[in-house]
A and B are shown apart, each in its own frame.
Chain A
Amino acid sequence: MNKAVISNIWRTVLFIALQVLVLMSVKISFGSFDYIHIIVYPIIIILFPLNVPRPLLILMSFFVGMSVDIFYSSVGVHASACVFIAYIRDYVLKYLEPHGGYSIDISPSSHNLGFQWFLPYSCFMLFVFMLFYFSVEAFSFVFIFEIIMNTIASFIFSIIFILIHQFIFNTTV
């Protein structure tokens, strides 16, 4: 087992634990404005190394989502959003591919590819995740207002956490 695998497993476990043990019970609301849900664990999927085969990435994202779902007691909701962003990650990476291309086995982190590159990548991935997640949670576009408010508010707070994490820890693998 090489260093990358171990560090990814650690990251997965730690972020799921952070999500379900700490962030799940954090309730930020201003009066009736209670749309803020801090969800940072998609960073696991965002930072999976580039050499992971795509079907495997999708499968692992499914399990990540399911383990969060167990704690949120919302079987399948997080998992479906995780599977979705895992599937589109390849297209996003292709779209954002730098001139030199990616070196094959690195993690697409701020440290490896630069903050300039990482910011749009993580923002897009997280925003899609939020949109998908809150849509599935509401399960009907009757609640379009709630979906959009939840997505925007939660996205803003969550992306701050993810970017802070990228500043503090130099994620190389």
Chain B
Amino acid sequence: MRNLIALLIRFGSLITFVVLEFICFAFIVNFNTSQKDIWVNSSNLFSGTILEKKNAVSTFLKLDDVNKNLQEENARLKESLLLANGYSAEIMVDTNLQYKHIPASIFSQEYRLRNNHLTINKGRRDNVKKDMGVINEDGIVGIIKSTSAKYSLAISLLNTQTRISARIKSSNYFGNLLWEGRDPYMMTLESIPRYAEIKVGDTIVTSGYSTIFPRDLDIGVIESFELKKGTSNLNIEVRLTADLTNLSSVYIIENKDKEEIKALEEENE
């Protein structure tokens, strides 16, 4: 106790000084805006530097784990790459190597006329050729009719010249899909025999019997059907799954084996 008092007497003024200066600085950084800002910024700078150093060290120590994780991820990616048959990320629908998808966007579109066309912002420069299919996420959209260097013109499904080979998914009967020039949401499927077992709501998909579209792309669903007068065929009204009045991004389908197939067919004729 006596020592403590002696200590206080000896260092009393120093203690008073330090304590009061401490109080002053506490006041300064708490009640004065500009000093407070500087204090906060400086202490952030200081603590930030320390934390950064610490982070650098811990990152270095974790390198082994990170490396291991990366190797695992690599293996996983390679595996999925094999599964996808070397396809690029642009591919969305098909996993068949025969078809390649070129992403594109619609430059201008029409749907009120009898023969509607679409202008697409990809052309010869991007390997777009005549008679390639155009699809979007919901279904098929059209067929390329002519190309320039940077653009291409496609016949929309909503065109009286359109003939698409289509198939009823559940029963495998196939026929021609055409547009009668009235409703931009409806098309007609022809040449389905009357004894085909179909019902409203069945899905219509591409048949795959042409070199334009791959098999089993969505087209629409059956809305209604009736016997075509004077024939033994059904007339089936199909509601399109793709909204052709409101298109933005599409994919152009390139069939890599088209030339080969064509050559083979010509050889036989």
A165 within 8 A of B: no
* B28 x A139 contact (CB < 8 A): yes
* B28 x A59 contact (CB < 8 A): no
**Within the complex, which residue of B21, B31, B38 is in contact with A84, where a contact is CB–CB below 8 Å?**
B21
Chain B neighbourhood of A87, CB < 8 A:
13-14, 17
* B12 x A75 contact (CB < 8 A): no
How distant is A144 from chain B, measured CB to nearest CB, in Å?
Answer: 14
Q: Is the interface of B mostly helix, strand, loop or mixed?
A: helix
8 Å CB contacts to A: which residues of B31-65? 31-32, 34-35, 38-39, 42
Tally of A-B residue pairs with Cβ under 8 A? Answer: 66
* B12 x A76 contact (CB < 8 A): no
Chain A neighbourhood of B16, CB < 8 A:
54-55, 58-59
**Within the complex, which residue of B17, B27, B35, B38 is in contact with A58, where a contact is CB–CB below 8 Å?**
B17
Chain B neighbourhood of A65, CB < 8 A:
24
Can you name the residue of chain A whose Cβ is closest to the Cβ of B42?
A140
A103 within 8 A of B: no
How distant is A55 from chain B, measured CB to nearest CB, in Å?
Answer: 4
Q: How many chain B residues have a CB neighbour from A under 8 Å?
A: 22
B70 within 8 A of A: no
* B28 x A58 contact (CB < 8 A): no
8 Å CB contacts to B: which residues of A56-93? 57-59, 62, 65, 74-77, 79-80, 83-84, 86-87, 90
A75 CA to B25 CA, complexed, in Å:
9
Q: How many chain A residues have a CB neighbour from B under 8 Å?
A: 23
A84 CA to B21 CA, complexed, in Å:
8
**Could you tell me which B residues sit within 8 Å of A by CB distance?**
12-17, 20-21, 23-28, 30-32, 34-35, 38-39, 42
Q: Taking A53-B12, A76-B24, A140-B38 as given, write out 17 further A-B residue pairs in contact, using a Cβ cutoff of 8 Å, ordered by the A residue number.
A: A54-B13, A58-B20, A59-B16, A59-B20, A74-B28, A75-B27, A76-B23, A76-B25, A77-B35, A79-B24, A80-B21, A80-B25, A84-B17, A87-B17, A90-B13, A136-B28, A139-B38
